[in-house]
Amino acid sequence: FDHNLDFGRLVEHLMGIYAMRNEQPYRVLVVDDSKSQAFYAEKVLNHAGLFTRTVLEPLKVLEVIDSFQPDAILMDMYMPGCTGPELARVIRQQPRYDAIPILYLSAESDVEKQLDAVSQGGDDFLTKPVPKEVLISTVMNRCRRYRGLHEQVIRDGLTGLVDHNHSLEALNRAIESSEAEGRLVSFAMLDIDRFKSVNDTYGHGMGDRIIHALALFLSQRFRVTDTIGRYGGEEFAIVLPDTDEATACRLLDEVREGFAQVEHRRGDLAIQVTFSCGVAQAKPDDDASSLAQRADEALYLAKKQGRNAVCG
Ligand code: GH3
Ligand code: MG
Ligand code: MG
Ligand code: MG
């Protein structure tokens, strides 16, 4: 039994799952007061392609969850100041972290204590020494399920795009990393033209199909690093990292022209629909709401100019 060969194959298999789903690596927060224990867990998980972050002081965990946004937390049982289950309770008190997986990794072998820990907000108990394969696959399974649930919550049912709040969250993240790394970011807001009359004339079902068609059209024309969101009913938002305003305007104008030519059919009926778009590039000191407001003003201009237009 060649242990290393098997491990290599497992990692390859797990990486294959990522590649198929085109996903960002899972993010695991390691909470352990022992540097060497935390380092070992990080090494094993990193080797399998997961991102990790360690917190040595348990009381800092909430802060780090907010900034790191983990898909799972791997936690020690006994730490100075508080125990794992106590910390799990604190985490679970935040409604937004109610579903985040918490896995204990400890030498505690008393089954009663293990059950107790799991009943107090934990999801799994892994007893040290744990085989690397078991650690990796248990953590990854938890991450995968959590992401799956989370996706359903943040995605819009009709289009599969992220919703309004998560569009703004993506914009905030893009602005922060653009400030940190001196890069550009642009934001585009799209609004379908005279959509009320489309609904009134052809029915709400046809309207829904057009919203779906535009979502698909946009998804096929932007990079995977661009975030496309359903900003409102017939409004969409696109976050474009590393893109200046002029380039974003040019791109959106091509998309506008392309979409205007699409025929939406139902039986013998074929209708064409246009959208208007406002684009703005982040300036120093912009936050998501100030940038979104400038894009909204540009959108208003595009509407005022007669619609079916892109304004910067
Ligand atoms: P404008 O060119 O100024 O944007 O005109 P408009 O008619 O598109 O603007 P308005 O905001 O007055 O109307 C938007 C319409 O979009 C009203 C609403 O009924 C429709 N709408 C919003 N969400 C949905 C949806 O999910 N499905 C359908 N079918 N229609 C929707
Ligand atoms: Mg400890
Ligand atoms: Mg509108
Ligand atoms: Mg509209």
Instruction: Give pLDDT, residue 181.
Output: 83
Identify the three-state secondary structure at position 58: helix
Q: Tell me what the pLDDT averaged over the chain comes to.
A: 91
CA of 133 to the centre of ligand 2 (A): 22
Cβ neighbours of 184 (radius 10 Å): 16
pTM above 0.90, yes or no: no
| pLDDT(302) > 70 | yes
CA of 235 to the centre of ligand 1 (A): 8
In this structure, are residues 229 and 219 in contact, taking their beta carbons and an 8 Å threshold?
no
Does residue 284 have a cis peptide bond before it, meaning omega lies within 30 degrees of 0?
no
> Taking residues 100-109, what's their average pLDDT?
96
Q: Which residues surround ligand 4, an ion (CB under 5 A)?
A: 191-192, 195
Instruction: Give pLDDT, residue 128.
Output: 94
Alpha carbon of residue 269 to chain centroid: 38
| pLDDT(2) > 50 | no
Q: State the Cα–Cα distance between residues 130 and 112, nearest whole angstrom.
A: 19
CA of 75 to the centre of ligand 1 (A): 48
Identify the three-state secondary structure at position 128: coil
Sole residue written with tokens 């079916």: 308
In this structure, are residues 80 and 126 in contact, taking their beta carbons and an 8 Å threshold?
no
Interface pTM (ipTM) of the complex? Answer: 0.96
Identify the three-state secondary structure at position 179: helix
pLDDT tens for each residue of 169-214: 899 989 988 888 888 999 999 999 999 999 999 999 999 999 999 9
Instruction: Give pLDDT, residue 1.
Output: 39
> Taking residues 141-152, what's their average pLDDT?
88
CA of 276 to the centre of ligand 3 (A): 10
Read off the pLDDT band of 228 (50, 70, 90). very high
What atom of ligand 1 comes closest to residue 233's alpha carbon? 23
164-to-139, 212, 229, 233, 267 alpha-carbon distances in Å: 30, 16, 7, 10, 33
> Taking residues 281-297, what's their average pLDDT?
96
> Taking residues 123-130, what's their average pLDDT?
94
Q: Spell out the residues 6+ positions from residue 79 whose beta carbon is closer than 8 angstroms to its own.
A: 31, 32, 33, 58, 87
Ligand 1: residues with CB < 6 A are 191-196, 199, 204, 207-208, 211, 233-234, 303, 307
pLDDT tens for each residue of 9-44: 666 666 665 554 556 789 999 999 999 999 999 999
Sole residue written with tokens 């959590």: 146
Instruction: Give pLDDT, residue 140.
Output: 93
Instruction: Give pLDDT, residue 4.
Output: 55
